[in-house]
Amino acid sequence: MKITRSRISPPWRGHLFLFDRPQAARYSVLQSYKLLAIFVVLEFAVRPLLRAEAARIDIASRSWWMLLEMGFLAALACWLVRFAGVPLSELGLYSWSRWSQTEKLYCPQIVLISVAVFSFFVSAELKALWSRHDLWKIGVCVFVPQMIWGFYQEFLYRGLLQTELMRRWGPLSGIIVSNLIFTFGPLHAYHFGLARANPIHLLIFPAIFSIGIFFAFLFWRSGNLWMIVILHGLGDWFIDGLAQVSRMHK
């Protein structure tokens, strides 16, 4: 028997992906090509060149660099999209007032669940974190950049790339292809280099693909990019951010 939305209480609908289906994007074909061009320029040119230059002038290891780098990339991405004439809301970045009841109830739940699960596995790192006296620096130079990094990744790979590929090829192909690029493309290709010395690094790809599929499906069903941005940013903080903190001088 088919389960109808009305028979399920709002707090549970999000967990079953029963969101109000988002409206199709309404920008022009020309604008869609501009969005794909923005993705290519940022991921295949701007970001790699920015990191190469930071390494060349020896600022990549500075505590403030990631904040500056992530802030610049995120701001540039948003500006280019607006310059192309596409409202950010068309790509899932719409205001809280437009969130459905299901979204408003689901997001806090999934965030709390994620924080609880991550905290369980990194409890020792969190205990060490709270004993430090430079929490303000960690917040500004590590936590905030990791959240912005999550924003940048989701904005490009789900907001721009997935949206455009689904418009052209439909949800299934659009989700799979965009997630394959997310997994094996310029964002995570460095793992291939690490795997030369330690092949176990190749096991990271199934994990990246799996979480990417979850984010992709959630975005397709809800149309709300903010929820995925928050979850991705928190994941980056717990996985990469805490490791970065451990390397910082107290």
**111 in a structural domain:** yes
> SS3 for 91?
helix
Residue type, 59: I
Residue type, 231: L
**39 in a structural domain:** yes
**170 in a structural domain:** yes
What pLDDT is stored for residue 237 in this prediction?
97
| Number of independent structural domains in the chain | 1
Closest among 90, 244, 74 to 151, alpha carbons compared: 74
What pLDDT is stored for residue 250 in this prediction?
66
Q: Do residues 28 and 34 touch, judged by C-beta distance below 8 A?
A: no
Altogether, the residues listed in the chain come to a count of 250
Beta strand residue intervals within 37-193, DSSP E: none
What pLDDT is stored for residue 165 in this prediction?
96
**133 in a structural domain:** yes
> SS3 for 58?
coil
| One-letter-per-residue 3-state SS of 213-238 | HHHHHHHHHHCCHHHHHHHHHHHHHH
**62 in a structural domain:** yes
| One-letter-per-residue 3-state SS of 48-90 | HHHHHHHHHCCCCCCCCHHHHHHHHHHHHHHHHHHHCCCCHHH
**13 in a structural domain:** no
C-alpha to C-alpha distance for 235 and 230, rounded to whole angstroms: 9
Please, what is the Cα angle at 189 between 69 and 236, to 5 degrees?
50
**71 in a structural domain:** yes
What pLDDT is stored for residue 3 in this prediction?
45
**221 in a structural domain:** yes
Six token digits for residue 21: 């289906």
- Parent domain of 140: 22-246
Return all residues near 62 (Cβ < 8 A) that are at least 6 apart. none
Q: Do residues 221 and 77 touch, judged by C-beta distance below 8 A?
A: no
Task: Print pLDDT tens along the chain (250 aa).
Answer: 344 556 788 889 999 999 987 877 788 999 999 999 999 999 999 999 999 999 999 999 898 999 999 999 999 999 999 999 999 999 999 999 999 999 999 999 999 999 999 999 999 999 999 999 999 999 999 999 999 999 999 999 999 999 999 999 999 999 999 999 999 999 999 999 988 888 888 999 999 999 999 999 999 999 999 999 999 999 999 999 999 998 887 6
Model pTM? Answer: 0.94
